[in-house]
């Protein structure tokens, strides 16, 4: 086995596990489509085909104690966190054995005690401030956890996303926000939403690092996200990761996605994340045909067994409809301290109520390059606000490499400055 150099090395077992989770996600998705056509799925069905590397690679970069809040296309992240296919199957089929007892469909379930999963919120963007709060709470309790949520390209245009990212930045919360740029906000292409080529550049508005990564390269996704997670865990504040991928189906099963140009589907089909990773594993001698066949056979067998369990689970009985709607002493909410409480109480936690601001917020008559301004606002050296993650696009499965972009050292001449709209000043 000869692997390219990685900042965060992965063992052979880990590399094969990434394949297992990605392929299991794909096969589970296809099984749900079959159940949907048999009228066994209650409600809508939202596919994650084409985005397996994004969900699996990002979630795999976390530790078991870390928290996630998935969205509808992050089934792979749920599997990494320990959920079984039967949980997702029964949830979509509204069976009594589902995590919500058949009371809700799709991915609206969580586990606050064991797996540290916060249930999705349908209002896009709202999970960003929620997971910022979870991150701040974990830090206060001394848990040293990192929180993560995902959001689509369209969701980054919501007010809740902006407010949440701004709060996370100002509080230096240990939070990673993964923007899954899958090219379409329902039927609106990214180019009709924003003027940005890289949505990772939104991070600069909050003074935090923003990384863009090839979202169909699972090794690159893992390496990029691991870098972001470790930064957040060290107390350096939140990080925004843009995963460039493609939604290979419509918004939901009822949507034929006729608005997507056929050539665009062909372009991304040639960059299928699972096919690319299979080629990568073969190229680097991580596996052979026998190992691949064994993994595929295991996935087929497990999914068949999980489907049988899900279909055998009955629909919920009418008399349990009122259960779990309101909490009447059903559980105890208690802080899980992992640090001495005295550390966050006076006199140890007492600080002088005086703020010291370098140069009193002025620029001393010198214009600042955007990266320097962002770094200064965050109280960090300029270089930390201008890091970029590049990927090897010339080769399927190429690993990511971390590079520092150089902040401009000289003021930009007035003739070359750009107006906020993107046009040169003085030109209409």
For the annotated catalytic residues, the residue numbers are: 247, 251, 259
Give 240: exposed, middle or buried? Use CB within 10 Å, 0-12, 13-18, 19+.
buried
Spatial separation of the C-alpha atoms in residues 4 and 19, rounded to whole Å: 17
Q: Do residues 12 and 1 make contact, with C-beta atoms less than 8 angstroms apart? A: yes
Give 360: exposed, middle or buried? Use CB within 10 Å, 0-12, 13-18, 19+.
exposed
Residue 267, CB-side half-sphere exposure with 13 Å CA sphere: 9
Please give the structure tokens belonging to residue 399: 């690993």
Please give the structure tokens belonging to residue 377: 């606002």
Neighbouring residues of 131: CB distance < 8 A, sequence distance ≥ 6 = 67, 69, 118, 147, 148, 149, 164, 175, 177
Q: Do residues 89 and 310 make contact, with C-beta atoms less than 8 angstroms apart? A: yes
């Amino acid at each position: 086995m000869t692997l390219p150099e990685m900042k965060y090395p992965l063992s052979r077992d880990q590399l094969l596990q990434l394949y297992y989770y990605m392929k299991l996600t794909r096969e589970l998705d296809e099984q749900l489509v079959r159940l949907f056509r048999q009228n066994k799925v209650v409600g809508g069905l939202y596919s994650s085909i084409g985005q397996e590397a994004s969900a699996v690679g990002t979630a795999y970069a976390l530790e078991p104690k870390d928290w996630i809040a998935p969205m509808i296309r992050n089934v792979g992240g749920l599997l990494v966190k320990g959920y079984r296919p039967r949980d997702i199957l029964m949830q979509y089929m509204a069976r009594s054995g589902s995590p919500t007892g058949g009371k809700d469909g799709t991915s609206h379930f969580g586990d606050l005690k064991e797996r540290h999963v916060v249930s999705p919120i349908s209002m896009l963007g709202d999970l960003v401030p929620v997971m910022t709060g979870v991150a701040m709470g974990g830090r206060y309790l001394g848990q040293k956890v990192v929180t993560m949520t995902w959001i689509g390209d369209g969701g980054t245009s919501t007010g809740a996303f902006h407010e949440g990212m701004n709060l996370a930045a100002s509080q230096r919360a240990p939070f990673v926000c993964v923007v899954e740029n899958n090219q379409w906000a329902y039927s609106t292409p990214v180019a009709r939403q924003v003027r940005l080529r890289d949505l990772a550049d939104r991070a600069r508005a909050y003074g935090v690092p923003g990384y863009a990564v090839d979202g169909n390269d699972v090794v690159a996704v893992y390496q990029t996200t691991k870098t972001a997670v470790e930064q957040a865990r060290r107390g350096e504040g939140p990080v925004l990761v843009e995963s460039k991928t493609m939604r290979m189906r419509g918004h939901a099963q009822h949507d034929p996605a006729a608005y997507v140009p056929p050539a665009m589907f062909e372009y991304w089909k040639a960059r299928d994340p699972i096919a690319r990773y299979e080629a990568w594993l073969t190229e680097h001698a991580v596996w052979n045909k026998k190992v691949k066949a064994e993994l595929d056979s295991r996935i087929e067998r497990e999914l068949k067994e999980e489907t049988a369990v899900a279909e055998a689970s009955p629909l919920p009985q009418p008399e349990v409809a009122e259960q779990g709607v309101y909490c009447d002493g059903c559980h105890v909410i208690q802080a899980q301290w992992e640090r001495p409480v005295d550390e966050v109480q006076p006199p140890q936690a007492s600080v002088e109520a005086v703020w010291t601001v370098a140069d009193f917020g002025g620029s001393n008559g010198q214009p600042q390059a955007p990266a320097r301004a962002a770094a200064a606002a965050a109280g960090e050296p300029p270089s930390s606000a201008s890091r970029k993650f590049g990927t090897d696009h010339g080769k399927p499965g190429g690993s990511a490499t971390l590079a520092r972009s150089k902040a401009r050292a000289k003021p930009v001449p007035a003739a070359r400055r750009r107006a906020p709209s993107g046009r040169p000043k003085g030109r209409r």
